[in-house]
Structure 1
Amino acid sequence: MTSFYLVLALLIALALNHRRPQVRALGMGTAGLALCFMAGSIALAWTDGTFAAATGSTPVWLSIEALVLIAIAGAAFWAIPKQLRVAPAEAPPLRGTKAAYGLTTRALHWASAVLIFAAFTMGQFVTVLSPALPEHAMFLATHLAIGGAIFLLTFGRMIERLLRPSPPTPGRVKLAHTAGYALIIATCVSGLAMIDAPVDLYGLKLPNLPADPLAETMHRDRLPLLFGLFILAHLAGAFRAIGRMVR
């Protein structure tokens, strides 16, 4: 399952940044279907009794996420017809310049976005499902592996931003980028501090951090709240970007 999400995230990221509008439309459609699948799994969990014994705010968070996923998917589907009428764009440079972000930066950004939604959904299901169920171990293993991939992608994005030029951005945008990186790293680090064994990501073992009781509270309660607020604010900018893309 981990390989599926990693490949899917990479394909969507590359398609959304392709010069041909048909390929970008295909990427939008694929992303929309993937988001609908995640939202559908949450809806199914409500109907089959998965959330019946759940306590706390986890089911509420998942319900809010399902609505957000449907809204994003709807925006993606809405943009497809207009995207098909757009003239082919100039292929983005592989590396960033002062005039435009490079394909590497864009691909890492979109791949991380897809993986973050997948990791958050699976992490919430891990909280709800009983450890005795076989699905719990599957969701946990996939959640950890995807979280490890996000951790590495984030460092890759930071290195790319430091080594390559990028278009000038307002101070508030730079602050938002810094806050996003900080939230991702804090979430990944707190998750690593909750487990007993190193995370194995295709042979690359991420470090096993010392256990900390605060890590669980941060990873399951406080950081998801901050992350959710950040994503909602970020989505507002993304919707504006989609609007500019299809004009």
Structure 2
Amino acid sequence: MTITTKSKSRYSIGSMVFHWLIAILVIWNWRLAANAEHAETGAQASALFADHKAIGITILVLTLGRIVWRLTHPMPALPGNYATWERVLARTTHAIFYILLILLPLGAWIANSMSGRSIDMFGLFTIPPLPVSANRELGHSIFEIHATCAMFMIYLVGLHILGALKHTFFDKDGGIFRMLPFGRVRRSA
């Protein structure tokens, strides 16, 4: 197969920016939550969770922007060397990512709102609670689901990274370079 760097073999620059910003924020947010869980004081945990919530809302906004971008900019076809199971796994993984990137922050915002708490966006402005009924018990249950789904997302990130590395270094189709503005990408079928 021919190796090419034509734009139809890789994602658009806008898609790349959304992808890498969201990826960095997801991993950073995961670490913030883990650090908050192990904080020495309640004040430290609260400060870390405040940043975690603000980053979560940022991820939600960026994800909605990414969806709009994706709907208005064509996505490159998967390389022709992908087996059927790899195509199904790639599409399924991406769909689950989008679902989680919306539901995780939205669910947390709802749960937060059930306790009447607003979200401080890094001291710049405050997002008020959603107009939902007060229900701390249900809010706590939603946070538990949030934590479980967040761990699932981290495992999914690991699977995604392994897939990109497999395609780049074993299949040598330039998999990771489809989402980078440099490198050689094998032409899609």
After TM superposition, the score normalised by the length of structure 1 is 0.53
List 4+ stretches of structure 1 deviating above 6 A: none
Residue of 49, 56, 59 corresponding to 1:147: 56
SS at match of 1:156: helix
SS at match of 2:89: helix
Residue of 102, 111, 118 corresponding to 1:198: 118
Match of 1:229 in 2: 155
Residue of 6, 12, 27 corresponding to 1:117: 27
> Greater share of helix residues, 1 or 2?
1
1:153-172 equivalences in 2 (<5 Å):
153-169=62-78, 170-172=87-89
1:238 Cα offset (Å): 2.8
Instruction: Give the AA of the match of 1:230.
Output: L
SS at match of 1:166: coil
User: Unaligned 5+ residue runs, structure 1?
Assistant: 1-88
Instruction: Give the AA of the match of 1:228.
Output: I
Match of 2:145 in 1: 218
1:185 Cα offset (Å): 1.6
User: Unaligned 5+ residue runs, structure 2?
Assistant: 79-86, 178-182, 185-189
Q: Report the RMSD for the aligned CA atoms in angstroms.
A: 2.8
Structure 2: how far apart are the matches of 1:199 and 1:242?
A: 40
Structure 2: how far apart are the matches of 1:208 and 1:119?
A: 22
Structure 1: how far apart are the matches of 2:131 and 2:108?
A: 9
Structure 2: how far apart are the matches of 1:236 and 1:198?
A: 38
Structure 2: how far apart are the matches of 1:163 and 1:137?
A: 39
Match of 2:11 in 1: 101
1:14-25 equivalences in 2 (<5 Å):
none
SS at match of 2:75: coil
Seen in structure 2, the aligned counterparts of structure 1 residues 206 and 117 have a Cα distance that, compared at 3 Å, is farther
Task: Give yes or no for contact 1:197–1:208 (8 Å, CA) kept in 2.
Answer: no
Match of 1:136 in 2: 45
Instruction: Give the AA of the match of 1:157.
Output: R
Instruction: Give the AA of the match of 2:68.
Output: I
Structure 1: how far apart are the matches of 2:151 and 2:45?
A: 23
Seen in structure 2, the aligned counterparts of structure 1 residues 182 and 203 have a Cα distance that, compared at 3 Å, is same
Task: Give yes or no for contact 2:117–2:128 (8 Å, CA) kept in 1.
Answer: no
1:145 Cα offset (Å): 1.0
SS at match of 2:111: coil
Structure 2: how far apart are the matches of 1:194 and 1:131?
A: 23
Q: Using the aligned pairs only, state the percent identity.
A: 20
Match of 1:12 in 2: none
After TM superposition, the score normalised by the length of structure 2 is 0.68
Structure 1: how far apart are the matches of 2:95 and 2:62?
A: 15
Seen in structure 2, the aligned counterparts of structure 1 residues 113 and 234 have a Cα distance that, compared at 3 Å, is same
Structure 2: how far apart are the matches of 1:242 and 1:141?
A: 38
Deviations 1:106-162 (A, max 9, x none): 011011111111101111222233553x32222111111111111111111111111
